[in-house]
């Protein structure tokens, strides 16, 4: 069995490409990297890679991560500027024994030394969006942070290996140096080939409060189906945050186990996700909201 699940509709082209390769025996790590790069390279996805949304200084700072579910190796970069494919830099970092998570200048220096492609990731379209939104925010008192999405993916290959990867520009108009859940293992992603994996999108600050990707994997390890694990973890964190803080930010999760069974849960309307398995052609669905 091979399978792949990803947050949002924006992942479907990458998932479709990667699944054609998984069918031919591609490794789960290569598949997830290929699919995330596809999203990073597409200029019209506003919150990932090229064309990503800028921070409050109008700079595109990107977060990305990669995890190998066989070895539990993790690599991550955060706040990296001017590199084309942060997911590939994160994957390369996962090969090392130490220094697996690099931020800002350190990440850029590493990427440069290791031959990764430099690229100005701020597009004219993103600049226009920034200017428009800044004005609206000032004029109408809107939240500058609205309108952000992360691509997170979990893959399973024919050999039973599972991998996870994420990539995002994070919250629109975030403070310079702000890091979200997507680069943090346990919060934005987690995968263990002996169980399954999960990955998140939504308000990083709140997703971190529940280490929610790890929590879903933990529930699957107890024997829960990915759907049940997602429902429990999302509704519990949503309820805890409401009880303690009066409200919860956006929490949306997808999960896949090592049998190719999947699940999804969200506390927002309109959360789309992309999924494909050996038995199911690549499809985009919209999740129902947990209560
Ligand atoms: C972050 N979780 O940086 C990301 C943003 C996101 O839907 O996924 N938004 O907090």
Compute, in angstroms, the gap from residue 65 CA to the centroid of ligand 1.
13
Element (H, E) at 256: strand 251-257
d(CA 155, CA 148): 23
User: Which long-range contacts does 239-246 make (Cβ < 8 Å, 24+ apart)?
Assistant: 240/209, 240/210, 241/206, 241/209
Instruction: Over range 139-152, report the average pLDDT.
Output: 76
197 contacts: CB under 8 Å, gap ≥ 6: 67, 69, 154, 162, 163, 164, 189, 190, 191, 213, 217, 255, 256
The runs of H, that is alpha helices, within the chain are 12-23, 28-41, 86-93, 104-113, 124-140, 204-207, 212-221, 226-245
Give the chain's largest Cα–Cα span: 55
Which of 86, 204, 287 best tests ligand 1's pocket when mutated (most atoms within 8 Å of CB)?
204
pLDDT tens-digit readout, 223-272: 999 999 999 999 999 999 999 999 999 999 999 999 999 999 999 999 99
Backbone phi, then psi, for 145, in 5-degree steps?
A: -85, -15
- Write out pLDDT tens, residues 106-143: 999 999 999 999 988 889 898 898 888 888 776 776 66
Model confidence pLDDT, tens digit, residues 168-201: 999 888 999 999 999 999 999 999 999 999 999 9
Per residue in 274-284, pLDDT (tens digit) is 999 999 999 99
Catalytic annotation on 16? no
Please, what is the end-to-end C-alpha distance for the chain in angstroms?
Answer: 32
CA 155 from chain center: how many Å? Answer: 13
Q: Is 243 annotated as a binding residue?
A: no
Q: Are 76 and 183 in contact (CB under 8 A)?
A: yes
What is the per-residue pLDDT across 17-43, written as a single tens digit (0 to 9) for each?
999 999 999 999 999 999 999 999 987
Q: Alpha helix (H) ranges present in 57-143? A: 86-93, 104-113, 124-140
Q: Are 18 and 28 in contact (CB under 8 A)?
A: no
DSSP string for residues in 38-64: HHHH-TT-TTSSTTPPP-TTS---EEE
pLDDT score of 145 more than 90 = no
Q: What is the whole-number distance in angstroms between the Cα of residue 187 and the centre of ligand 1? A: 11
Q: Which of 150, 199, 266, 277 is catalytic?
A: 150
Residues pairing with 198 in the sheet: 190, 255
Beta carbons of 12 and 285 less than 8 angstroms apart? no
Q: Are 216 and 228 in contact (CB under 8 A)?
A: no
For the beta sheet containing 262-266, the strands, ordered from the edge strand earlier in sequence to the opposite edge, are 189-192, 196-202, 251-257, 262-266
CB 167 within 8 A of CB 48: yes
Q: What is the pLDDT of residues 4-13, one digit of tens each?
A: 999 999 999 9
- Mutating to test ligand 1, I would choose from 167, 176, 203 the residue with most ligand atoms within 8 A of its C-beta, which is 203
């Amino acid at each position: 069995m091979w399978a792949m699940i990803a947050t949002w509709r924006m992942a479907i082209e990458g998932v479709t490409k990667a699944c054609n390769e998984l069918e031919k025996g591609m490794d789960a790590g290569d598949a997830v990297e290929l699919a995330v790069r596809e999203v990073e390279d597409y200029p019209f996805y506003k919150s990932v890679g090229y064309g990503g949304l800028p921070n409050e200084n109008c700079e595109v700072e990107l977060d990305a991560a990669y995890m190998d579910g066989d070895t539990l190796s993790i690599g991550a970069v955060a706040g990296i500027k001017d590199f084309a494919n942060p997911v590939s830099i994160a994957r390369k970092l996962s090969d090392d024994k130490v220094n697996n998570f690099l931020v800002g200048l350190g990440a850029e220096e590493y990427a440069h030394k290791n031959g990764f492609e430099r690229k100005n990731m701020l597009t004219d379209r993103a600049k226009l969006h920034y200017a428009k939104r800044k004005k609206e925010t000032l004029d109408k008192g809107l939240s500058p942070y609205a309108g952000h999405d992360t691509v997170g993916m979990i893959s399973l290959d024919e050999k039973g290996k599972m991998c996870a990867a994420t990539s995002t520009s994070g919250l629109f108009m975030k403070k310079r140096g702000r890091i979200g859940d997507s680069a943090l293992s346990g919060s934005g992603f987690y995968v263990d080939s002996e169980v399954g994996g999960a990955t998140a999108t939504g308000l990083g600050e709140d997703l971190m409060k529940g280490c929610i990707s790890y929590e879903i994997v933990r529930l699957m390890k107890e024997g829960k189906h990915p759907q049940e694990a997602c429902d429990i973890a999302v509704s519990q964190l949503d309820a805890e945050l409401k009880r303690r803080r009066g409200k919860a930010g956006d929490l949306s999760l997808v999960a896949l186990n090592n049998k190719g069974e999947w699940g999804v849960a969200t506390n927002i309307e309109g959360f789309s996700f992309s999924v494909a398995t050996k038995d199911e052609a690549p499809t985009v669905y919209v999740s129902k909201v947990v209560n």
